[in-house]
Homo-oligomer: A and B are copies of this chain.
Amino acid sequence: MPSMSLPAYMDDLGRAARAAATTMAAASTAAKNTALLALARRLREAGPALADANARDLAGAADLSGPLRDRLKLDAKTLATVAEGCEQIAAMPDPIGEITGVKRRPTGISVGQMRVPLGVFGMIYESRPNVTIEAASLAIKSGNACILRGGSEAIHSNLALAQLVAASLEEAGLPRAAVQLVNTTDRAAVGLLISQPQWVDVIIPRGGKGLIERISAEAKVPVIKHLDGNCHSYVDEFVDLDLAVKVVDNAKTQKYSPCNATESLLVHAAQAAAFLPRIAAVFKAKGVEMRGCLRTLALVPGAVAAVEEDWSTEYLAPIISIKVVDSLDEAIAHINRYGSHHTDAILTTNHVSAMRFLREVDSASVMVNASTRFADGFEYGLGAEIGISTDKFHARGPVGLEGLTSMKWVVLGQGEVRG
């Protein structure tokens, strides 16, 4: 960090980002793709300088737990993955400049909408250097500028990566300030970054729920926020039991830590006796703790009694809450009350049940006969994911390139005036 006060430094970053955003908004698709492909090449060629920086971070983070340490590590495989990600984003259509829905109005003017970048986004994330490249590549393709604030344990890796990004931008004739990394581990930088509406249009935090709630409460700009994922799978009255066992098993046990893993299982009373013993056998074999309602306990000997808090808990662990419900209405009401509006699925063979569930469950992703684990930008075909939104405003669910854009109105006339 240069020798100036932190507020002056953050203000400089913001001003530079705003200026770069103007250039990026008008940048050609070719220039943006050139930068992305240059970045992929530089990541593959990175070699010793990057390895040294990452080794310094790893040495300084000796007390990090295993999984956090793994996330911090930038090995050849990680670099190959992020480089490939850059190439995939380069191959995607440019979202910017798309004009849609142009209609001639009775007055003679034609009115439509044009997709444009949001401007500048600020990203606050944990010590995962790969996120630096993901955010940078999404910013470049979407014609935005960004200011990145990664976790302090990854500062040397991030600075080395930011150098590669800047060089790649320069190689493509684009402004280096389109992607800037906050070059200080001072925590006060976060408070400043989220309080600059004149420079920053939106903040995207990634991290624990506490951090995101604090940022949302204090930010002076909009926040695309991802809170918890208390996801449900509901086994309907009309159901293919084999399919339901397979899907619910996957939704819960394929991985325990992701936000889109199922945390709560609802079963229609008419299927409880047939379904619960079968899925319980699967869970038991995999060591999943079952916390059930009274009717569940009667059907699943190994289950323990759920308490009220279980219905709203995101375990991120081999634990699942289970409730028998008497109707689709009860299932929908339960999900809307206790869920986190993230991802919920129905297992059913009935069209009316499926359509009602899709429409009435108030969640970012609603699914029929599929594992909740599919709620993911890559699985949805967004090509990349800057985050997942649990808000309804602007972007909902997995956020890809489009979530970093907005639509402005375009009016094409031939000298029309208003009467």
Contacts and interface: CB of A to CB of B under 8 A. Distances in A.
A286 interface: no
A88 B407 CA distance: 25
Chain A to chain B: the 7 pairs with minimum beta-carbon distance, closest first: A370-B413, A250-B417, A243-B415, A367-B411, A373-B418, A394-B394, A365-B409
A381 interface: yes
Contact of A116 (B362, B370, B393): B362
B418 A379 contact: yes
A418 B359 CA distance: 24
Given A370-B416, A412-B368, A406 B392 contact: yes
Given A254-B417, A360-B25, A407 B396 contact: yes
B114 A380 contact: no
A370 B409 contact: no
B25 A362 contact: yes
A397 B393 contact: no
A372 to B, nearest CB: 9
Most chain B C-beta atoms within 10 Å of own C-beta, residue among A109, A251, A370, A375: A370
A356 B114 CA distance: 13
B25 A374 contact: no
Given A365-B409, A397-B408, A408-B366, A116 B415 contact: no
A67 to B, nearest CB: 20
A310 interface: no
B380 A409 contact: yes
A22 interface: yes
Given A222-B393, A396-B407, A413 B367 contact: yes
B409 A366 contact: yes
Interface in A242-297: 243, 246-247, 249-251, 254
Given A393-B202, A411-B374, A107 B379 contact: yes
Contact of A369 (B406, B410, B414): B414
